[in-house]
Copies of this chain bind each other. A is one copy, B any other.
Amino acid sequence: MAHRLKEQYKELLDKKGLTYTFERKRIFEEIQKISVHFHVDGLYDRFKKQGERISRATVYRTIPLLLESGVIQKSAGNGKRDFFEKTNAKGHHDHMICVKCEKIIEFHNEKIEALQDEISKHHKFKVTFHDHRLFGYCQKCQ
């Protein structure tokens, strides 16, 4: 699975005339180790903690490539920061975000997805991705 994604990633680089450099390889690998969503500076921090000096700029620069090749996808944001996750993580899902403790609960509902399709079709709108977040209070924080 991760292997197929790596191929897609390499292909995209190739198509764009870019090299599969050490840094681009390390960033791909490190993301495979993350099981939940992450933000770019968090990813950068992982390298820093391990004593690897891959610059913040490089990490930021690599994200669009990973997105475009389908290795990662946008995930729940907290409103400020962009979050990402591996596409092979667990399929598409949406999020409930506790505004107090910042806990994130994932959900997925086929009926909603189907209704979205219906609506967009009706407006002749071609959806490429969507963002569906419910903000509020989790059970503990109410």
Interface residues on chain A, number (Cβ under 8 Å) = 32
- The quantity of this chain's copies bound in the complex is 2
Complex interface bits, A109-142 against B, C-beta within 8 A gives 1, otherwise 0: 1011001100110011111111111111111001
> Quick check: A120 and B134 within 8 Å, CB to CB?
yes
A82 surroundings in chain B (CB, below 8 A): 79
A115 surroundings in chain B (CB, below 8 A): 109, 111-112, 115
> Quick check: B112 and A96 within 8 Å, CB to CB?
no
Residues of A within 8 A of B (CB): 79, 82, 96, 98-99, 105, 107, 109, 111-112, 115-116, 119-120, 123-139, 142
> Quick check: A135 and B126 within 8 Å, CB to CB?
no
> Whose C-beta in chain B lies nearest to the C-beta of A119?
B107
Asked, given contacts A112-B112, A115-B111, whether A123 binds B96 with beta carbons under 8 Å apart, the answer is yes
**A129 interface neighbour in B116, B131, B136, Cβ under 8 Å:** B136
